[in-house]
Structure 1
Amino acid sequence: MFYIMKEWLMDMVAAMRIAVEVARLGSFTAGSRELRLSAPSVSRIMAELEADLGVRLFNRTTRQLNLTDAGLDFVEKSSGILEQLDNMRSVVRERHDTPRGQLRVSCVTAFGNECLAPALPEFLQRFPQLGISLDVGNRLVDLIEEHYDVAIRVGPLSDSSMIAQKISTQRIIFVASPEFCRRFGMPKSLDEIRSYPSVSQVSGEWGRTHQFRHLGEIIDFEVLQHFAMNSAQAVKNACLTGYGYSLLPDFLITDDIAENRLVQLLPNYGPVEQPIYAFYAQRRHTPQKIRVFIDYLTEVFGS
C-alpha cells in the first residue's frame, strides 16, 4: 500500500509540473521541449491527469490552448505546492550538498551584455553543478509567474513581494564623438545642448529623464528624442557616427573615452548615481543557488 501511494504521489507531482509548464508556455509542444519529454508523453499525462481529477484543465483548439476555470485553479495551487516542495528539498540538500540546479536570470540589456555575461564564467567555475539561463532584455518580467530566480534592474521596484539587493551603480554621462565636437563645438550648459541633435536610449519610462548635480542643485534633464532606441549598444554605435550626442552608462563607454572614440560633454554636470539591484522573490527559505549568486554579484560589482 505504501509503495502504491508513493508511486501515485510521484506521478501527481510530475503531472503538476507538466501542467504548470504547459500553462506557462501556452502549448503542449513548448512544454514538452522545456521539460525534455516527448509531446505524445505530455499529452498522455495531461489526459490521464484530467481523467483522474474528473475535470477538463485545458481547452484545446488547433491554434491555441487555454486554461479552464478548473485548470487555472489547479495550476495556481500546483505552483504553490511545487515551490514548497522545491524549498523543502533545497533545505535538506543544502545541509550536505553544494549548490546545484538551474538559475533563470533576467537582466537589463546594457548591464547584461557588458558586465554580467563576462562575469558568469567565473561563477560557473566556482559552482560547476549550477547552470545559468540568462535572459537579456529590458522587459519587466514577473519573477513568480515566469519562473525566474533573479532579475537585475536599474532603480528600485515598488513590489513588496520582492527582496532587493543593491549590487552596483551606474552613472549616465553626456558623450559625443570627436567629429560631433568639431562640427558643433563643446556645449557649456544643458540649455545649449538641447539645441543639438541627440541619440537616446528610452525603454518604457526609463531614460526619459535623467538627473544631474550642478552648483549644489539637482537638475532634471528631459531627454529629447530626436533619434531614440531601446538598446544602449545601438545608441553608442549611432553616436560614434557623429550624428548626435548621447547619454550612456559609464560602464559602456569607459574604453571609448580612454581611446578617444568618444568625448565626455558637460563634465561640470555630475550625474546622479542610479542603483542597480538584484531582485528575488521572498521565500521562507531562499534557495542556496540564489544566495550564492547574489553574494557573487555583490562581490564582483559592489566595488
Structure 2
Amino acid sequence: MDIKVLRSFVAIIEEGSFAAAARRMGVSKSMCSKMIADLEADLGTRLLTRTTRAVTPTAAGQAFHDRVAQILTQLDAAFEAVRAASSRPSGPLKVGAPVQYTLKVLKPHLMRFMEDFPDIQLDMVLDDSRSDMTRDGFDAVIRIGTLEDSSLHARRLHDANILLVASPDYVARHGSPDQPSDLRDHLCLHYTNLRGPGTWPLRHGNDVVYQKITPAFSSNNGELLRALAVAGKGIALAPEFQVADDLARGLLVQVLPDHALPGVPIHVVYSSRKLVTASLAAFLDFMARLELGRTE
C-alpha cells in the first residue's frame, strides 16, 4: 500500500477535513478523497463519517488511525536516524518568517545557510501574519513578541527594540509628542498585527502604558508604514531593525524616546508534535549560533 495514502488518512483525522488534509499533503481535495475511498474499499469497512460540517472517524477508523499514526512516527524516526548519521542533512524545510525581519536581519545569514547545507531545500515563506504551523505545513516559524501557544517548542534568538518614529518634516509641521496621551492629537500609522485594536504598548521604566490611538492609516505591512513615516504622513511604531538605516540617514527621528519597547523577544518555534528532522535540527542549531539583533 502507498504510504502516502496512510499519511493522507492520518492528516484527515488530525485536520478534521479533506481540504485541510489536502493542503498539508500537497495534493488536490479530489485526489485525497479518492485515496480514502480506495483505502476503505481495500479494508472493506468505512473509516470516516462525512457531514457537511466535519469529517470524524468511525470506531474502526479511530483504531486504525491510532495504530497507523504510531507506525508512521516510528518509520519517520527510522528515516531521520539514518539521515542524522550523515554529515550532510538533506531534504525539504519550510520556514515562515516576518517580511522585514527576514530582509533586514536574516537575509545574509540565510545565504550562508544555503552554502553550509546545500542538500537542504529551504522554502522561506515571508508573511507578517501569525501562520498556523500545522495547517500551513511549516517545520518552523519565526515570531516577534510574546508567545501564546504553549504546545510549541521555542528557541529565543534575541530581543528587538520597538521605537516611535516620524520624519523631521512631520515633527516640524505637527510638533513632537511630550507624553503618550499626546498621540491622540497626532497622525498615527498603525500596524494591525499588534494585539489590541488601536492600542500602542509603550514602556516607561518598569511600567507599560497601553495608549489608545485613532489611526490615520492602518496596514498589516510594516514596510508600507515605514515608507509613509519617511514621507511625513505620521508617527509609526516600528522595530529598530526596520528603521535603523532611516534613523542613521536622518530620514526619520525618534519621538518619545523614553517610551520605547526594549526587549521584545524573537523566537524560532516548532511543533512539539512533529519529528525534528535532520534538516530542522541543522536550521535550529545554525540560528542558535548567530549573533542577531543588528542590521546588516
Q: Normalization by structure 2: what TM-score? A: 0.80
What's the secondary structure of 1:82's corresponding residue? helix
Output aligned runs, 1:218-257, within 5 Å. Answer: 218-226=207-215, 227-257=217-247
Deviations 1:108-162 (A, max 9, x none): 3432343334532221111011012222224433434543211211233243332
Q: Cα distance, 1:18 vs. partner?
A: 3.8
Q: Cα distance, 1:283 vs. partner?
A: 6.0
Residues 169 and 40 (structure 1), Cα distance of their counterparts in 2 relative to 1, 3 Å cut: closer
Comparing 281-290 with 25-34, greater Cα deviation is found at 25-34
Residues 21 and 231 (structure 1), Cα distance of their counterparts in 2 relative to 1, 3 Å cut: same
Match of 1:211 in 2: 202
1:67 to 46, 51, 55: 55
Residues 209 and 28 (structure 1), Cα distance of their counterparts in 2 relative to 1, 3 Å cut: closer
Match of 1:107 in 2: 97
2:178 is matched by which residue type in structure 1? K
Match of 1:5 in 2: none
What's the secondary structure of 2:284's corresponding residue? helix
Q: Distance in 1 between matches of 2:284 and 2:68?
A: 27
Q: Distance in 2 between matches of 1:29 and 1:158?
A: 25
Q: Distance in 1 between matches of 2:20 and 2:260?
A: 53
Q: Distance in 1 between matches of 2:283 and 2:106?
A: 12
Q: Cα distance, 1:51 vs. partner?
A: 0.9
Deviations 1:17-67 (A, max 9, x none): 3445678684599669926xx999767644431211223456899xx9963
Q: Cα distance, 1:247 vs. partner?
A: 0.6
Deviations 1:216-243 (A, max 9, x none): 4423142514122212112112222212
- Cα pair 2:97 2:127 within 8 Å, conserved: yes
Residues 26 and 204 (structure 1), Cα distance of their counterparts in 2 relative to 1, 3 Å cut: farther
Comparing 284-293 with 234-243, greater Cα deviation is found at 284-293
Deviations 1:158-184 (A, max 9, x none): 433321110122111011112201101
Output aligned runs, 1:158-177, within 5 Å. Answer: 158-177=148-167
Residues 197 and 284 (structure 1), Cα distance of their counterparts in 2 relative to 1, 3 Å cut: closer
Q: Normalization by structure 1: what TM-score? A: 0.78
- Cα pair 2:100 2:222 within 8 Å, conserved: yes
Q: Distance in 1 between matches of 2:75 and 2:120?
A: 19
- Cα pair 2:8 2:25 within 8 Å, conserved: no
Q: Distance in 1 between matches of 2:75 and 2:100?
A: 35
Query: What is the count of residue pairs matched by the alignment?
Result: 287
- Cα pair 1:152 1:278 within 8 Å, conserved: yes
Does the alignment pair 1:271 with 2:264?
Answer: no
Q: Cα distance, 1:78 vs. partner?
A: 4.5
1:201 to 171, 191, 194: 191
What's the secondary structure of 2:153's corresponding residue? strand
Residues 231 and 34 (structure 1), Cα distance of their counterparts in 2 relative to 1, 3 Å cut: same
What's the secondary structure of 2:111's corresponding residue? helix
Q: Distance in 1 between matches of 2:235 and 2:30?
A: 56
Q: Distance in 1 between matches of 2:137 and 2:95?
A: 10
2:224 is matched by which residue type in structure 1? A
Match of 2:182 in 1: 192
2:173 is matched by which residue type in structure 1? R
Deviations 1:70-126 (A, max 9, x none): 497466765554343212311232123421111121223432343334532221111
Output aligned runs, 1:116-135, within 5 Å. Answer: 116-135=106-125
Identical-pair percentage: 26
- Cα pair 1:171 1:249 within 8 Å, conserved: yes
**Aligned-residue CA RMSD (Å):** 3.5
Q: Distance in 2 between matches of 1:234 and 1:114?
A: 15
